[in-house]
Amino acid sequence: MTFYDNIRTGDMLSRLGSDTQIVQDGLSTNVAMFVKAFTVLLGTVVILFTYSWVLAFIIIACVMPSVVASRVTAGILNAFSVRY
């Protein structure tokens, strides 16, 4: 309770409004980017399977290891940068 006694009401409301706006902007941007990326991925896979299902499986088999490797590398680099 002493925290609220020491902080002025205007400062608390300003910080709350600012934090709320940051979260709202982040969520709306991330959701829009996710929907766009998922739509492009789905369209690409549909077009691949339309042309040739064998070629589609070959491309997916070649791309998946690089996706996994990039995610692992990004995690390692993130941990390194936080530690550094």
* Exposure class string for 9-31: b at 16+ Cβ within 10 A, else e: eeeeeeeeeeeeeeeeeeeeeee
- Give the E-state strand segments of the chain in sequence order: none
What tens-digit pLDDT sequence spans the chain (84 residues)? Answer: 677 677 777 888 888 888 888 888 878 888 889 999 999 999 999 999 999 999 999 999 999 999 999 999 999 999 888 888
- This prediction has a pTM of 0.58
pLDDT at 17: 86
CA distances from 24 to 28, 48, 52, 63 (A): 6, 36, 42, 33
Rg for the chain, CA atoms, rounded: 22
**What letter does residue 21 receive in the DSSP assignment?**
H
